[in-house]
Homo-oligomer: A and B are copies of this chain.
Amino acid sequence: MIDSVDIEIIGYVNSCFTEKFGAPRQSGLVPSAEARLRMIEPFNRREMVRGLEGFSHIWLHFLFHRVKAEGWKTTVRPPRLGGIERIGVWATRSPHRPNFMGLSVVKLRDIDFSDGVELVIAGVDILDGTPVLDIKPYLPSSDSIEVATEGWAVQEFGALEVDFLPIASQFCAEYEAETGVPLQQLISEILREDPRPASQRVKKDRYGMRLYNVNVHWHVSDAACQVLGCEKLV
């Protein structure tokens, strides 16, 4: 009996999420979060993606490469349970898990052959630089089980209200004109889901995150957040 196996990286993701804080907790929550999966040799042959363009969604198997050094534990404290209750690691999708393997379904927007093979994907919850292990088409006939019960991970309702100070809106409009990235929409979708770890919710009222090369600052009070400003990193 084998007890381990060597798995090769097939590509890397370039994503707007350059740090963990701000990255959505599941794929699909932030539709404007676009990324590119760049296939590497020998997994980047054009014919390997033939027929993939007909699928609206794909599965990505990837590695939680940033948390590997932190290790894993047999139980974790999910943010959705307030960070207090301990759940078995197999009952969660925590990145701190044996093998550090992640699984996300993302929208397949396009396949770009202009420089190698790159998949343009959206609705990602994947950090920049993430190594990918496999790609599979999403098959609604077998993968979509609406009636499945969700255990402890019941859905939170009541998304946060998000508004922008004029100076922040102006920055976003200029950034979008320059880069094509719909930054204000992206920030709104991220903050609406409240990216703060449960442990930080009472500690402070100002937060910052990095998206692409931009620092975003916001303020939280009750069920609303206000984007105070953005600045480009040099």
Contacts and interface: CB of A to CB of B under 8 A. Distances in A.
Contacts of A2: 9, 65, 131
Contacts of A55: 91, 148-151
Interface residues of A, number: 71
Given A2-B65, A9-B4, A145-B105, A136 B52 contact: no
Contacts of A101: 7, 61, 133-134
Nearest to A61: B101
Interface of A: 1-10, 12, 26-29, 43, 45, 47-57, 59, 61, 63, 65, 74-75, 86-93, 97-99, 101, 103, 105, 131, 133-153, 155
A57 B145 contact: yes
Nearest to A90: B135
A131 B135 CA distance: 20
B74 A47 contact: yes
A7 B50 CA distance: 29
B8 A98 contact: yes
A24 to B, nearest CB: 10
- Tell me how many chains of this kind the complex includes: 2
Contacts of A151: 51-55, 137
Contacts of A4: 6-9
A21 to B, nearest CB: 20
B105 A50 contact: no
Nearest to A5: B7
A136 B59 CA distance: 14
A151 B149 CA distance: 28
Contact of A7 (B99, B103, B142): B99
B136 A93 contact: yes
A179 B97 CA distance: 37
Nearest to A149: B56
A218 to B, nearest CB: 24
A54 B155 CA distance: 14
